[in-house]
Structure 1
């Protein structure tokens, strides 16, 4: 059986899956990234996970497994043409020849790209974006990033640096961003940004049910999911944070829509689990700021395969690259 391996690499976990040629995830495993062990140890773990998955699925299914190619989604700036991870801050990588090292270890075609691009590619082609030609995808997680898929092809821009929507500087925001700017969208509207805003307000004494859930010595355990729980109990602080985050996201997307003219916007990542709590203000702000000709033909939805899109997208990206190179 011919399969493609898709690997989604994060600062905390690595998820590796085997995906059929039709885009179905047939086997999947997850391991801790262990960033402190360094890049070579992480690359070895990726290689070992691919081998482990192939053996385990062959035993489980009772059929011979052949991994045709491997696709890997990496955080940060990636040069897919040269196969180099230019900069991944949360992994501590800079100018790492990831493809060269993994090909030497696995003797398989290896293709890498930015993890958000592979995630959006998976959702656009095999998830919520099926049937649409022009898709803009956005992930709301530790940070915020986006990608565009046009008729099955990813858009990259100069130096492969398109999609950094989270680093649009928004009027009215002043918090410093690790990128060096102040007031970036993701300082407030990412999942981690919303938590930071909640912590800041709680420490300033703003009333909230969250104070009883998380006394001072437990505040650091607060998560974006807790904000959604509090929102559902009409907590004013949680509602204010989620509604403002949705509004800011809608405003930022209103800048992107006239540039790329998508017919569908997909919102994914951990922040998308907030659902309509985030999407309702997002849509209200977005639709109020774009021309009717855009608004009347634009849908905004959450990701269909939020957990698997990174693996599916990486594997199917590898399939697309492999098939193109074989023609």
Structure 2
């Protein structure tokens, strides 16, 4: 039986797994990236982890591997053009990993692989036009139209987080002020909470994170405070959901997806965040776009990138790409 290897290389950890042709995850492993050791070390350790996984599944034959990488990727040439968190510039990842594994390797941006996994074998399975958004340290998006990823000019499509919006006062790491991700990402939610504490708002978050400990506050803590009935937390998540909807509205009207998949750390807030988002979308997006749109949280969560990378490799090798 054929299987496919999928991997997601992050700045802190690498996760890799073996996936069958239907998108079922058969086995997985996680190891520290240790990017400081250099490109060759990271690739070598990934290859060894992959070989261990495959050796434990002797009934399967691996025919291709896929890898998601954070940063700018030339998926056609198999080169990581720029991955800041890894310290990589123009690295031939596909060729080097392929040499060590003995199978064709296809690489792509990590968010595209995450959304591809959800579109083909997750929450978006069976839907023709999928818009996926990850709400993590930042915000990124990808679209899968009838099984094919959309790249845009220069493969830059999907930077939803850097959509500038009025009323957002924060300066983004990209250099602009007012980017959506400064509010609606996991880090943006935590930032709003820290600002509320600094402004002297009466909130349980100030009790939980006094003084310098406010720096430890996360989006998950804001959800916890929401469940405790904290009005500041409720205001923050309502405001965040509203702003997220305002950022998504133009994309929904332009792309007309039939599925919106939301993943990443902030998506774990669930309806605390998504109820106000749906309410605002219903208010500002024409009913003809909303009537056929299904909105769901990612099914595979942390495994979506592995599954997407593996199935992307399957699709690309089958097509001769």
Superposed pair shares fold, TM > 0.5? yes
Residues 92 and 197 (structure 1 numbering): CA distance in 2 closer, same or farther, change over 3 Å? farther
Partner in structure 2 of residue 83 of structure 1: 78
Partner in structure 2 of residue 39 of structure 1: 39
Partner in structure 1 of residue 7 of structure 2: 7
Could you tell me how far 1:106 is from its partner in structure 2? Answer: 2.3
Superimposed CA distance per residue, residues 202-229 of structure 1 (whole angstroms, 9 cap, x where no aligned partner): 2332221012212224323222111111
Q: 2: distance between equivalents of 1:145 and 1:212?
A: 33
Could you tell me how far 1:92 is from its partner in structure 2? Answer: 2.2
Could you tell me how far 1:174 is from its partner in structure 2? Answer: 2.3
Partner in structure 2 of residue 123 of structure 1: 118
Partner in structure 2 of residue 26 of structure 1: 26
Q: Is the aligned partner of 1:295 residue 2:290? A: yes
Could you tell me how far 1:65 is from its partner in structure 2? Answer: 3.3
Could you tell me how far 1:233 is from its partner in structure 2? Answer: 1.3
Q: 1: distance between equivalents of 2:92 and 2:198?
A: 44
The two structures have a TM-score, normalised by structure 2, of: 0.96
Of residues 173-182 and 119-128 in structure 1, the stretch that sits farther from structure 2 once superposed is 173-182
Q: Secondary structure at the match of 2:242?
A: helix
Could you tell me how far 1:175 is from its partner in structure 2? Answer: 1.2
Q: Is the aligned partner of 1:253 residue 2:248? A: yes
Q: 2: distance between equivalents of 1:237 and 1:180?
A: 29
Q: 2: distance between equivalents of 1:324 and 1:67?
A: 17
Partner in structure 2 of residue 71 of structure 1: 66
Q: 2: distance between equivalents of 1:24 and 1:34?
A: 28
Superimposed CA distance per residue, residues 242-280 of structure 1 (whole angstroms, 9 cap, x where no aligned partner): 111111111111010121110111111111110001111
**Aligned pairs for 1:1-327 within 5 A:** 1-55=1-55, 57-58=56-57, 63-325=58-320
Of residues 180-189 and 236-245 in structure 1, the stretch that sits farther from structure 2 once superposed is 236-245
User: What's the C-alpha RMSD, in Å, of the aligned pairs?
Assistant: 1.4
How many residue pairs match? The answer is 321
Residues 205 and 255 (structure 1 numbering): CA distance in 2 closer, same or farther, change over 3 Å? same
Superimposed CA distance per residue, residues 111-131 of structure 1 (whole angstroms, 9 cap, x where no aligned partner): 001111111111111111112
Q: 2: distance between equivalents of 1:280 and 1:299?
A: 14
Superimposed CA distance per residue, residues 282-302 of structure 1 (whole angstroms, 9 cap, x where no aligned partner): 111112111121121112111
Conservation of the 8 A alpha-carbon contact between 2:168 and 2:179: yes
The two structures have a TM-score, normalised by structure 1, of: 0.94
Could you tell me how far 1:200 is from its partner in structure 2? Answer: 2.5
Note the residue ranges of structure 1 that are not aligned, 5 or more in a row. Answer: none
